Structure 1
């Protein structure tokens, strides 16, 4: 069970992560768990001084802070280096920037993940992290703090020509019965162009 401080942090990450879900299809639970794990609940120097939750290098709109990271030398040994890290105006910008990075082709399986377990494994398989225990750590955080509840996001679709309830159910991986129930459709479930339907 989360402390009040932890729950406040979860909410601070969860709200923008959920808002980004419709744009990126990346599960909010994954983003929140990554933020918790990689920033030490927002207590890392990068998070405190630069709102940088995920340790992304470089600059953001020309803003950066210096921090310590590890590179690999010719012999494969880790060596400490001082490099610029992106400095964000808020956690929300850090989350959006991170989500944008995860929409690159190499992370396609993360975007396609149907649940947090698939997503956690996809992050590792895509080369996001070198720690073989990274997926297990994310899953443990998600389940301990019930972060999967943030994945229950309602999605709406504006009906266009050619749409049918069965096609929309297939497209959004939903059940026809659920779409009918959510939208109070009768057994004939006739839908009209321009109609806004809940599909997830």
Structure 2
């Protein structure tokens, strides 16, 4: 996306916003200062793992609509291709959410929102299940790429799980609504069938992941911590309620981040539009 000239006051405000949401997003915020700016997303399906576009930084805005199992690939190749699959969608989703946060800040700073702004605000409050704009602001968090990649790798077995391949479900998000797209799990819980959500793309899974963490009461501590730091090793401590594994889940995430040097991806950002 094309950068625009800014006066010193705008630059200062952007810096303050970057501090609020973490230094890791500074470049993305600077490039996305217009809250209603549209993203140029390329949707693509996969036939084989060879179709995965190699990862670069800056990263192309690609959202894969179908994936293939990476289970048969050599370990190093599997991990590299998995990250190339997921990171573009993560960056797109984070940029979308950053634009929403900026839009919310603009609305909160105005004395009287316009009718379209009030409509958008009402929709977002309903989506995040809150009753006030200030509560909404607390729910819209940013997370480091390394944390998201670690959870994605753990939940999918680096792109080999059935939910990932057949439903684009990256984080094992369950479905309780028979009217939404979903697939049945092979196991049951207390004699009852379990379903997981089915997404149209990996981007849809990432968007829903942010929504899940944004409105779930179990992740209040995570949201509070994310407003103070973007250090993934510190933030994962607040994910003990994400999985039944509890503390073991946190240790596995920590190991994934450390052994695979996932923090290197925290500085990745999307390409500007030509």
TM-score (norm 2): 0.48
Change (3 A) 1:14 1:55: same
2:234 to 118, 139, 147: 118
Change (3 A) 1:35 1:61: farther
**Higher strand proportion, which one?**
1
Deviations 1:97-129 (A, max 9, x none): 1111111263243241431111110111xx222
> C-alpha distance in 2, partners of 1:55/1:19?
20
**61-70 or 132-141: which moved more?**
61-70
Change (3 A) 1:87 1:60: farther
Quote the residue 1:35 is aligned against: 152
Structure 2 spans left out of the alignment, 5+ residues: 1-74, 98-140, 270-274
**Higher helix proportion, which one?**
2
Shift of 1:70: 5.2
> C-alpha distance in 2, partners of 1:94/1:60?
18
Quote the residue 2:12 is aligned against: none
Quote the residue 1:130 is aligned against: 244
TM-score (norm 1): 0.64
Quote the residue 1:192 is aligned against: none
Quote the residue 2:213 is aligned against: 102
What root-mean-square deviation, in Å, do the aligned CA atoms of Structure 1 and Structure 2 show? Answer: 2.6
Structure 1 spans left out of the alignment, 5+ residues: 72-78, 155-200
Quote the residue 1:147 is aligned against: 262
Q: Which has the larger radius of gyration?
A: 1
Change (3 A) 1:130 1:93: same
3-state SS, counterpart of residue 103 of structure 1: helix
> C-alpha distance in 2, partners of 1:120/1:152?
18
